[in-house]
Amino acid sequence: MSITESVVIPILTVALTLGGGWVVTTRVTDRWEQVKKNREMDLSAAQEFQLLYGEFVAIWKTWNSLTDGHTPVTTPEHIGSGCLERAAAAEGQIEALLAKLAAERSLTEGEIDMLGGVRQAFKVVRRSIRRGEAIAWSSSGAEPYVAIKSLSAATSVLLSTTPTARNRPSPAVAARNFREITDNRHEGSWISSAQRLA
């Protein structure tokens, strides 16, 4: 064996080992960073949803304390117009969050029904304000209130659980999912969607 062979082969072996280690380490680090980023985004979305649920309850309680249930909100001067604006803003934020979910996750039909139910549940407050009616959920066992609590808890779990595989739906599937989530068919079935969760 020549001196060149005795020097070059070990140097090449070391270089290949270091290069291979660098490639593997870089790929593992990149993958871990992506997992962390996805997890942070999921937790942020869950926190945003939980804040919106809190806003929903705050608007409901404020509205019920402002109205006797006989005065529809027809003018900006009406005492409930601030509640109406807040309710509409919360609905808009829910809609944006649902669009994000439809774009980022492969959803089952059950999850689509659950998210469609959440969307409809959030409309209850705005609709009651527009009609000038108090929201008649006098106890924690009132069926619509139980339904929104169930739907909200299940949605929080969905948002805070990072999928094992980050297979995003195609644009066509995401669009279909969002159309299904926002379909008005959920208007009459959101309470039964919540009951299926139990």
Model pLDDT, residue 68: 62
pLDDT tens digits, residue range 108-159?
A: 999 999 999 999 999 999 999 888 888 888 888 999 999 999 999 999 999 8
* CA 179 to each of CA 11, 46, 60, 123: distance values in angstroms, whole numbers, following the listed order: 60, 22, 27, 17
Sign (positive or negative) of CA dihedral 49, 51, 52, 56: positive
What is this structure's pTM?
A: 0.76
Model pLDDT, residue 37: 80
CA distance 29 to 73: 56
Model pLDDT, residue 56: 93
pLDDT tens digits, residue range 147-196?
A: 999 999 999 999 888 776 567 889 999 999 999 999 999 999 999 999 99
